[in-house]
Structure 1
Amino acid sequence: MKRVKKFIYQRSTSCYTQQCCVPLCHASAKYNSVVSFFSFPSDQQIRHRWLVAIRRDDLEIKKSARVCSRHFPKGDIRKPKSEKGRPLLKPGSVPVLFEWNNYSLAPPRSSFWEGESRPPEEETAVPDLRDILAEHDYSVPYDPALVDEENTTVQELDGNWIEKFGIHKFASSDKDIRFFTRFASFDLLMRFWALIEPALPFMAKFRLAQGGMLNEGSSDGRALHPIEECFMFLNYLALGSELQDLADRYRVHQATVCRVIISWSNFLYTILGSVRIWIPQEQIQKHMPAVFEDYSDTTVILTCSELMCQTPSLPILPREVISQYVSHATLKGLIGLAPHGAVTFVSELYTGLIIDKQIVRESGLRSLLKPEMAVMVDKDFIIDDILPCRIYRPAFLFEKSQTSASDLRVHVERSIRRVKERKLFESEFPIHLFGSINQIYTVACLLVNYENGPFVESMSEEDNLDDKLSLQASVLEA
């Protein structure tokens, strides 16, 4: 059946001739004065869609290349504002009407349900479109500034009450507090908070100064309450959580989690680092556990710890960070513990290839030891020729094959486990926190002195608070 022409050919009086470049289209300005011609758009993506639509992918577009108005729906063409004006296309319009589709668009395909009769439905209230969009906003790009706004403690969702994650959720459970922070109880955690809280205004000013916003009267712009930030930081140390996991738990942006970790590691590094942790020999003798009867002059128990680090994508000095013992990028540090379990020495971190002897030599520990003192080390800790004091290396202490349950061995292993039980020492350290890795590592070790009660029965709670009181004095004088 022959198709009926939708327009009549008319000869134009214009001397300028325009020709449609669409295949099988013979429209020309010489004979069709009622047809408009449109040049190709300058936008590369839309221009490519035009070429695909007219099936001319290999067309070399020149200034004279045109597509006539017959190939566009009427809704895509804007009428001229004046009699002498010419029609224009709406932005983003693409030709869709051609000879091969009979200059018409196919009707929309009916759904499966439209082909079957359905029983009449009862009239129901039409839900508000805003409520529907609120439940399906996963495709909407987020704004970090809005994500960081502090939500209410309790939110109502579909009639169910959901409690926000935070310290208030576990205040009544010492077991949960122990799991999430390594503090033995909520009471001990609150005592520690009371010690550092007076210095919080100084941390706020430091944070603002970092961003170049330090001016009088400005707010610190926190997304969380300070105690919630502290709880998040303790979660990171205790569980070695991924930053994205913490961001999801606290409903903040991942960049906020990173900022909180860096800020609190620097803050606690300054506060806890101002307290002298090296205990005089007479104080150590005063609280010497009974299991050290044969090693009564022991001043410190030395052990090394390693942190696994995210391997850089670029080979930046790989030999200096790859450990000899594990095929992984690592950093190594030296930790000293008093016989009664307190952390008395923490070195800075060194690259994974460094040997234990070199760490002891560079850490500054030798200047604290005297000839009448003694240190206890592992059997593989060969430092006899560099220390000025006696060295104990009990054969039964670190031999895992020994079956005898020595009280001394159990005591030492418990002391070391209090430091290394944090999942931070087992998880991979993210590369974008490398700038604060020494502070984070040091704070993780020093917090052991505040997380538990007296480690031995001979040490009273008042004696255990001596160092904490000195911490409080240094905070108030800051």
Structure 2
Amino acid sequence: MEIQVAGEMPCSHDEVPLASMDHDYTITPQPIDEQLAAAHAELKVLKQQLLETSQKLFFLERFSNDPQNINFYTGFKDYATLKSVFVALQPTATTMIRWTQMQRHSSNMDKLKTSAFHNESLPLIDQFFMFLCRVHQGLLERDLAVRFNLSQSSVSRILITWANYLYVMLGSIKIWPTRSIIDSNMPRDFKLWYPKTRVIIDCTEVKVQTPSSRVLNSEVYSSYKSHTTFKGLIGITPCGVLSFVSTLYTGAISDKEITSRCGIVDLLEPGDEVMADKGFLIQDLLEKKQASLVIPPFLDHKGQFSGEEVSETQEIARLRIHVERAIRRIKEYHIFDGVVPLTLASSINQIWTVCSILTNFRGPLF
């Protein structure tokens, strides 16, 4: 006979008591040290997974110990050089004005000055990195949007903002050296042949998309390139440092006209010599500054060069070739590889100037 306590449900011998289902005291718990070891092992696996994931992301810090990829994507020789340039820019970069803000608040400058450019999803240093990837490797905006996990419109705004910002900041650097600095760094060959050389100049062109307007097309068409182009003048010191970069002009402009307009003549001092190619018939411009022109001699009525003229031509060509090497450095920014679209025309001058000045951070030309 079973005795049932009041208030309790009858329980058969086959059923497990509720207390036994909640806590099985017959199982021996895992020792604490084994639990810690298992937790540490799991944490190690998670850290490795996090590291592998971060290595797949596209941001500057990923390449901090990879100078080859730093040079490939940005044109800087290593991470330290790039970082030092950014650190110099950072105080003003934190308060730069976004391009869309400039358009939106152009009528209210007070509001504009307090409206700094922030993109919380992408740090400033990676925005700088993105701009360098765009100009040095010519990566398209859509490609950059995927790499940096942003919308294409955000990428476009960032690139325009940085193009204008760097144009102002790098353009404020005084790259035109004094006569004493030129003399103290004059290479031996220049000292022997042309010790008064202040600058070596040449013009170069970048192809631009043909505009629909016939009037505009005639202005930008270059007979030399047989294409519509923008044209700029580059100047370097005898030791190979970029010392002058002009704004871009329409391709139809002559070498003499661009020299007259760009302002380089105003920087010369009495006694300076300017080395150039035969196309620069600018002696009359230089005479106003009491400067002189060094160009290869022209073939006169005799029909052939004298031995002295041949030697002079070869020597000038050998020394002048350095400005062509400087231009080639600029053209290694692959954004200039193809035909520049008209959609980029509003910022191409800023990009051209920035890329030109950035070549000075690549080290000696020779």
- Under a length normalisation based on structure 1, what TM-score does the superposition of the two structures give? 0.55
CA contact (8 A) 1:306 1:425 kept: no
* Residue 416 to residue 327, structure 1, CA distance change in 2 (3 Å): closer
Pick from 126, 134, 140 the counterpart of residue 236 of structure 1.
134
CA contact (8 A) 1:291 1:407 kept: no
2:77 counterpart residue number: 184
Pick from 123, 126, 129 the counterpart of residue 225 of structure 1.
123
* Counterpart Cα distance in 2 of 1:219 and 1:341: 36
In the TM superposition, what whole-angstrom CA distance separates every residue of 1:304-362 from its partner, at most 9, and x where no partner exists? 12122222355562101111122322110111111122221111111111111100011
2:334 counterpart residue number: 423
1:369 counterpart residue number: 268
The higher-RCO structure (CA 8 Å, 6+ apart) is 2
Pick from 211, 225, 232 the counterpart of residue 333 of structure 1.
232
Question: Offset at 1:199?
Answer: 0.6
CA contact (8 A) 1:300 1:339 kept: yes
CA contact (8 A) 2:96 2:117 kept: no
Alignment of 1:436-451 (within 5 A): 436-449=347-360, 451=361
1:311 counterpart residue number: 210
Query: Does residue 1:200 correspond to 2:93, yes or no?
Result: yes
Question: Offset at 1:291?
Answer: 2.7
Identity %: 39
* Counterpart Cα distance in 2 of 1:278 and 1:249: 38
| Equivalent residue letter for 2:148 | Y
* Residue 443 to residue 203, structure 1, CA distance change in 2 (3 Å): same
Shifted more, 205-214 versus 336-345: the winner is 205-214
* Counterpart Cα distance in 2 of 1:214 and 1:412: 41
Alignment of 1:11-410 (within 5 A): 163-204=56-97, 208-212=101-105, 214=112, 220-293=118-191, 294-313=193-212, 315=214, 317-388=216-287, 389-394=291-296, 408=319
CA contact (8 A) 2:98 2:158 kept: no
* Residue 292 to residue 215, structure 1, CA distance change in 2 (3 Å): closer
CA contact (8 A) 2:219 2:250 kept: yes
User: Residue 386 of structure 1: SS of its match in structure 2?
Assistant: helix
| Equivalent residue letter for 1:435 | S
* Counterpart Cα distance in 2 of 1:183 and 1:414: 17
* Counterpart Cα distance in 2 of 1:218 and 1:419: 31
| Equivalent residue letter for 1:381 | F
In the TM superposition, what whole-angstrom CA distance separates every residue of 1:43-84 from its partner, at most 9, and x where no partner exists? xxxxxxxxxxxxxxxxxxxxxxxxxxxxxxxxxxxxxxxxxx
Task: Report the RMSD for the aligned CA atoms in angstroms.
Answer: 3.2
| Equivalent residue letter for 1:235 | C
Question: Offset at 1:427?
Answer: 2.3
CA contact (8 A) 2:96 2:116 kept: no
* Greater C-alpha radius of gyration: 1
In the TM superposition, what whole-angstrom CA distance separates every residue of 1:148-202 from its partner, at most 9, and x where no partner exists? xxxxxx9x89x98861122123221111111211111111111111110111122
User: Residue 269 of structure 1: SS of its match in structure 2?
Assistant: helix
CA contact (8 A) 1:208 1:220 kept: no
In the TM superposition, what whole-angstrom CA distance separates every residue of 1:383-430 from its partner, at most 9, and x where no partner exists? 2332222222257xxx9xx999x8746645443433332223322222
Larger proportion of helix: 2
* Residue 274 to residue 161, structure 1, CA distance change in 2 (3 Å): closer
User: Residue 448 of structure 1: SS of its match in structure 2?
Assistant: helix
1:453 counterpart residue number: 363
Question: Offset at 1:257?
Answer: 2.4
* Residue 261 to residue 206, structure 1, CA distance change in 2 (3 Å): closer
Q: Which runs of 5+ in 1 are unaligned?
A: 1-153, 457-478
1:13 counterpart residue number: none
Question: Offset at 1:288?
Answer: 1.0
* Counterpart Cα distance in 2 of 1:421 and 1:219: 30
Question: Offset at 1:278?
Answer: 1.3
* Counterpart Cα distance in 1 of 2:216 and 2:68: 43
Question: Offset at 1:285?
Answer: 0.5
* Counterpart Cα distance in 2 of 1:347 and 1:210: 26
Question: Offset at 1:205?
Answer: 6.6
Question: Offset at 1:264?
Answer: 0.6
* Residue 257 to residue 327, structure 1, CA distance change in 2 (3 Å): farther
CA contact (8 A) 2:98 2:157 kept: no
User: Residue 428 of structure 1: SS of its match in structure 2?
Assistant: coil
CA contact (8 A) 1:205 1:214 kept: no
CA contact (8 A) 2:200 2:320 kept: no
* Residue 419 to residue 426, structure 1, CA distance change in 2 (3 Å): same
CA contact (8 A) 1:240 1:427 kept: no
CA contact (8 A) 2:234 2:327 kept: no
User: Residue 447 of structure 1: SS of its match in structure 2?
Assistant: helix
* Residue 218 to residue 288, structure 1, CA distance change in 2 (3 Å): closer
User: Residue 94 of structure 2: SS of its match in structure 1?
Assistant: helix
* Residue 242 to residue 352, structure 1, CA distance change in 2 (3 Å): same
User: Residue 274 of structure 2: SS of its match in structure 1?
Assistant: strand
CA contact (8 A) 1:284 1:299 kept: yes
